[in-house]
Structure 1
Amino acid sequence: MTRKTAAGPAREDIQDLSRCAALAVDEHRAAPGACVGAAVLREGTLALGLGAAGKLWFPASPPRSTPAAPPPVTSGTVYDLASVTKPLTALTLARLERAGALRGDEPLRAFLPELATSRSAEVPLDLLASHRAGLDGHRPLYAPLLEGRRPVFGEALAIAADARRDDCAGAPPEEGFPPVYSDLGYLLLGEALARRAGLDLDALITREITAPLGLAPAAADLAPAIASARAFRTVEPRWDDRVAPTEGVAFRGGVVRGAVHDENAWALTADASAGHAGLFGDALAVTLLGVAILEALAGERPTWLSPSDLVPVLRARPGGSHRAGFDSRSGPSPSSGSRLGPSTFGHLGFTGTSLWIDPDARFVGVLLTNRVHPTRATDAIRRARPATYDALAEVMLDAR
């Protein structure tokens, strides 16, 4: 049985994948709860699956101002996407380049003139997006909070732009420096895109990505949706009740819920999104984002992005697995499991989220968890991810 959707192909009835979600919760004990989503796109028909398992939090570690008994996770539970924000930032770059609003080879100083004397002034956006700008991965830009004062956004940008590694001096080579995964590069990229568009990054991502794909939050129906905490709150004041809590952080007053987990994003943009983190979403929305990317790769969304528009984002690059906003399968035991093919690309989020897309199988898989609750001091998600993606592939691919 199929039904036509406004934003895409005919859709089969949604399968229940709860047993796949339960692998992360019950077998691997990676998080108190988990949601999964999966899709296979074949001959104009979209086969979809969703599943949920576990509770929103561990009973011994409740968030502030909540009942003692944790409610169950549902397919509509919202998770902090963490670095799964980066693909949306990179897709926004592709959309602006498609529209002629910018070029990926333009230097950072053309967007942020106050950084014209920084060490990254001449670094083009494309190298920021592909983690080849020569920057350190992280700096504690939130540190002023520990001293009782708010960070200054402009000062934080300057620190990020000057955070060049010692072996990456001078002008970058054409393909950039050896890749090092960098939140700092995406913070700079997000601000550069917002500045060129004359919008804050929330509004820009809504305009270019979530609204055209039908994934922007709306008062009438919050699912599926991807947005920042600020955007969700504008349409649903009690949206926090749908959000899985993350970590207990002493300087933030305890277990974080309804606010971004990433300390730099929270310190610099509060409830809004930053280029490297700050978006929240549910499993269906993230799955449908992956489906839209598959359709664009196949030339089936020409008014949104074409295959050529996605070349700078998805092409393989020398020196490592990082593309522009996405990663590739890497290592002997990739987090995407053993079933997906060599062309698979996607991204992980520190909070326990992930998205993987196999363009050859036309498969999308999503795993959302709050594995940092109540502490990040566990690596069980490393085992849970490949097991979950293998299970999703078994259900969605083997039957077709």
Structure 2
Amino acid sequence: MTNRIKKAILLLLIFMAAWGKTFAQFRMDELLENPWVDSVFQSLTPDQRIAQLVWVNTAANNDIAAQLKVTEMIKKHNLGGVIFFTGDPEEQVKLTNVYQASAQTPLFVAMDAEWGVGMRMPGVIPFPYNMMMGASYSPELIKETTREMARQMKRLGVHVNLGPVVDINTEPQNPIIGMRSFGESPAQVAACGLAYMQGLQENNIIAVAKHFPGHGDTQSDSHFTLPVVPYSTERLDSVELYPFKKLVEQGIAGVMSAHLNVPQLDEQEGIPSSLSPKIINGILRDQWNFNGLIITDAMNMAGASTYGEPGEIEALALKAGNDVIEFPKDVEQTIAGIKKAVENGLLSQEEIDLKCRRVLAAKYWAGLNKLSPVSTRNLMQDLNNPQAELVKRKMIEASLTLLENQSQLIPIQGLDTLKVACLAVGRTTPTPFQNILSKYTKTDNFFLPEQFTAAELEEVKTKLKDYNLVIAGLHLYESKRRHSMQVGNMQKIRPQRSYGLTHETENLLNYLANEKKSIAVFFSSPYALAEVKNFTPPAGLIMAYQNDSLVQELAAQQIFGGIGASGKLPVSLENYYKIGDGINIENTVRLKYTIPEEVGMNAQRLNHRIDSIVSEAIQKKATPGCSVLAAKNGKIIFRKTYGFHTYDQRTPVSEDDLYDLASVTKISGALAAVLKLSDEGKINLDNKFSHDWPDWKKSLFHSSDKENLGWREILAHQAGLIPYLNYWTETVKDNKLEDRWYSFQETDGYQLEVAPGLFLKNKFKKRIYKDIRKSELNPPGKYVYSGLSFLIIPQITENLSGQTYAEFLDKNFYHSLGAYNITYNPLDKFPLDRIVPTEYDAHYRKRQIQGTVHDEAAAVFGGFSGNAGLFANANDLAKLMAMYLQMGTYGGTQYLSRNTMEEFTRVQFPENNNRRGLGFDKPLLNNKEVTPEQSYPCPGASPESFGHSGFTGTFVWTDPTYNLIYIFLSNRVYPTRETNMLGKLNVRSQVLQTFYDEIH
């Protein structure tokens, strides 16, 4: 037995298990004799009983005349229902209330919302297409998705969804079904359709299976012609009819009859299945004992309308067994034609009455006996609540299908070895896909427009020459080119379907597969890939099914390991890939970008509380703006920026903006180096600091009282070192910079750039080291925060590693992490407008500081210091903190050993009432015993947590107990450091506590 057969059997067992689950079945026989049904039925005239069988189309964006016309028809005839197609949600609700108030009998409100009301309404979250849902192979997820669809529909006052589509799409060139189908396997489609039905009907939304008897294997569209389904009864039973029969057995409320010609089911020439008694009554009613509603497909479609005149075909549809006439071309003629059919004996009054009772029974089941007006209050927030987005995210994530992963390319490793190009095919501006890719590492974007030329392709290939990884997003589009052809007396329309796959597109795919290491992502129907001639797969290939923004974002995360891979193809693609193909990746290795609800937090509460705290801070000029990030369980669940770079409010804060980290540099720069050197055995924490910094040893040339200070005591801030020294003052006389120390040009002897165009003499470093050695030393054993040793650590790093300090950090951490936005001296790499300014330095540099380190001690080192000098955005700083939180591991790479991380992050000297770890700050030792106002960093922080704060208004905190990362970046020192309103308001701690509160 092959693995493929085993897989197919396993999937079938999963589907069969899904059928056995309980759900709200629709039982017409139990509803027909309901007192409300009987009472309403008795109140209707014979003409009104006919009108209850008619659903008229409408739209919330129609002009007022069209809306008034529908209102008048409802009043005049007491119509059974309306079907909304397009428009604004609030307008639809208002119109629904008008229509319901105009009706004697409560109206059915229906929508053709196969992937949710967002299919019809811009501004409302749309869920994935059926085919994408089918790729999840998860009936439970589909059910969860349609529960959300049902919730949205009920909020809008909708009772009927014209879905699920359970057509088996076995024809890649099908012009009307395609992505609307769950796939090509009858068992899979049946299981998906059942789950779809369950999610709706458990919430009292009537589900309607369509397009009976099966529109999946046609090359024409029943909107424009009458498609022929020419297969044998054996084939029809095992394929086309199979899912309909299963859903009927399980109690689906409705079935939609399609306008198809199926000769093996009804030999009458040219008859649409929707008008065929042999197909509708013969199969659904007589063979399958279906007692729910049978609803026609739109009667204005050519597949039906060419068979007869308005009124005539609707009467035939009812005679065939349909209960509801949907979307007739002319309501007046339809009702008149049905009345005439009753008068002529084609239809009996008993048939009309039974159909009317069925409609009323379905209305009772859907709750129309307790109808009330629909409120517009908070409508958009209710429709687009976080739960809807979460469900959509889960479905997309489960559906993305990894088809190629040569040499385990995905998730991408070795970011420091890659030069990554992100190519958008079919787009000319940055895409959501490219934007998320850039959050994982440094990338460059390139574009090819729709229908790009050979010359444009050659130009892009030239630009890509120096890149060793190309990630291509193919945003292909669907063009429907139809050719008319005469068949007998009927004009047939035969489509040709293209997904933007020109000769140039195929050349591009061949180039990516054969000349570059590449990953291609198809944001389109999977059938697009099937159209490629002589397809050679690239090293990585993802089928993403849709061009939706969220699909793009999650596909980017899959490439870098923010999410895993589990989707499977729901269809076969020529000889390239078969149904069920898809590579699994279970473990995630990098941060994921998602919403708070995925980790059990409430986005609305978080936003409300944090917005309030930060808004007050900005209003009271504690800081011009800030960037806040939080991650829980390896998932970034909060990313938000507030305010502006400065109080003149010219430049809003952006997620990409770089902030001066100030003393957060100590743990993200200097301490990272010490961690690595300790891990490699080059630094022994139990040695004296002077072992690695001989300048502190006594010698014939100088004395030292620091020779016996230990690494542990120094890093835990209890060695007796004083907090700070103002070195720059030694270079100033009479409030002016001394010429002997400074140059306005960089030369061999003046390379310490303290500000743009201002260079300090290199020899001044020796004076700094001497000043530190000669500085006052207090008695050891007491916690006194000091930054002096961190000024020396960069030089120790260089001495022990043989690399410059910056190179050491880039190589061992930042670039491998994909954190190219953590850097010293950012003006060398980034434009000025991406760097948030700090203070106006009126004493030393006599200028506004922007892009140059704020801290003067770090400035005299040319910006390369261990106490300050790093700049970063919150996103990249989170990667480093995630590595720390995960005890040295990130992105599938072990940067530091667990033992080393555990040692550095534990409290070293609790007996001295010293809360510090090695370099890392820690909560108060009695944090749970003091008042919330006295606690540090906040009451919720666990004893295992660690982090650091920075003078410029920065703060990072990680908590292994709660798997939490928190980053707060601000420039509270703008325009001056004199008032610390940020500290007085306790802003950073309040925001951190908000996350803890939400966890608890």
TM-score using structure 2 length: 0.35
Separation in 1 of the partners of 2:730 and 2:609?
42
Instruction: Indicate the residue corresponding to 1:104 in structure 2.
Output: 685
Q: Which of 31, 52, 77 is 2:641 aligned to? A: 52
Separation in 2 of the partners of 1:366 and 1:321?
21
Instruction: Indicate the residue corresponding to 2:953 in structure 1.
Output: 352
The list of structure 1 runs, each at least 4 consecutive aligned residues, that deviate by more than 6 angstroms after superposition, is 15-18, 297-302
Instruction: Indicate the residue corresponding to 1:255 in structure 2.
Output: 848
The reply on whether 1:321 has 2:915 as its aligned counterpart is yes
Offset, 1:91: 2.5
- Structure 1 262/192 Cα, relative in aligned 2: closer, same or farther at 3 Å? same
Offset, 1:135: 0.6
Deviates more, 1:321-330 or 1:354-363: 321-330
Instruction: Indicate the residue corresponding to 1:222 in structure 2.
Output: none
Offset, 1:87: 0.8
| Letter aligned with residue 632 of structure 2 | V
Separation in 1 of the partners of 2:978 and 2:898?
41
Instruction: Indicate the residue corresponding to 2:823 in structure 1.
Output: 227
Instruction: Indicate the residue corresponding to 2:995 in structure 1.
Output: 392
Q: Which of 937, 942, 952 is 1:336 aligned to? A: 937
1:18-97 mapped onto 2 (5 Å cutoff): 22-23=611-612, 25-28=614-617, 29=620, 30-41=622-633, 46-59=635-648, 70-88=650-668, 89-97=670-678
Instruction: Indicate the residue corresponding to 1:264 in structure 2.
Output: 857
Separation in 2 of the partners of 1:366 and 1:93?
22
Instruction: Indicate the residue corresponding to 1:279 in structure 2.
Output: 870
Separation in 2 of the partners of 1:286 and 1:31?
20
| Letter aligned with residue 373 of structure 1 | Y
Instruction: Indicate the residue corresponding to 1:65 in structure 2.
Output: none
Q: Which of 761, 770, 776 is 1:158 aligned to? A: 770
Structure 2: runs of 5+ lacking an equivalent: 1-392, 398-556, 563-588, 597-602, 699-703, 742-759
The reply on whether 1:244 has 2:836 as its aligned counterpart is yes
Instruction: Indicate the residue corresponding to 2:812 in structure 1.
Output: 208
| Letter aligned with residue 923 of structure 2 | R
* 2:722/2:776 contact within 8 Å kept: yes
- Secondary structure of 2:635's match? strand
* 1:108/1:121 contact within 8 Å kept: yes
| Letter aligned with residue 292 of structure 1 | M
State the identity as a percent.
Answer: 24
| Letter aligned with residue 666 of structure 2 | K
Instruction: Indicate the residue corresponding to 1:126 in structure 2.
Output: 712
| Letter aligned with residue 862 of structure 2 | A
Q: Deviations over 1:172-213 (max 9, x none)?
A: xxxxx3221111121123322222112222122222221232
Offset, 1:121: 2.6
Separation in 1 of the partners of 2:847 and 2:829?
26
Instruction: Indicate the residue corresponding to 2:791 in structure 1.
Output: 187
Separation in 1 of the partners of 2:731 and 2:657?
30
Count of aligned positions: 363
* 2:610/2:994 contact within 8 Å kept: no
Offset, 1:298: 8.2
Separation in 2 of the partners of 1:163 and 1:50?
43
Q: Deviations over 1:356-396 (max 9, x none)?
A: 1111000011110101111112222222112211233445x
Deviates more, 1:23-32 or 1:84-93: 23-32
Q: Which of 968, 974, 984 is 1:373 aligned to? A: 974
- Secondary structure of 2:816's match? coil
Separation in 2 of the partners of 1:203 and 1:309?
22
- Secondary structure of 1:37's match? strand
* 2:908/2:918 contact within 8 Å kept: no
Q: As a proportion of its length, which structure holds more helix?
A: 2
- Secondary structure of 2:908's match? coil
| Letter aligned with residue 203 of structure 1 | E
Separation in 2 of the partners of 1:194 and 1:126?
20
Separation in 2 of the partners of 1:102 and 1:167?
25
* 1:351/1:370 contact within 8 Å kept: yes
Instruction: Indicate the residue corresponding to 1:303 in structure 2.
Output: 894
- Secondary structure of 1:252's match? coil
Separation in 2 of the partners of 1:54 and 1:110?
48
Separation in 2 of the partners of 1:324 and 1:10?
26
- Structure 1 23/247 Cα, relative in aligned 2: closer, same or farther at 3 Å? farther
Structure 1: runs of 5+ lacking an equivalent: 60-68, 169-176, 218-224
| Letter aligned with residue 131 of structure 1 | H
* 1:91/1:313 contact within 8 Å kept: no
Instruction: Indicate the residue corresponding to 1:221 in structure 2.
Output: none
Q: Deviations over 1:32-71 (max 9, x none)?
A: 0000110011xxx524321100010112xxxxxxxxx521
Separation in 2 of the partners of 1:48 and 1:292?
17
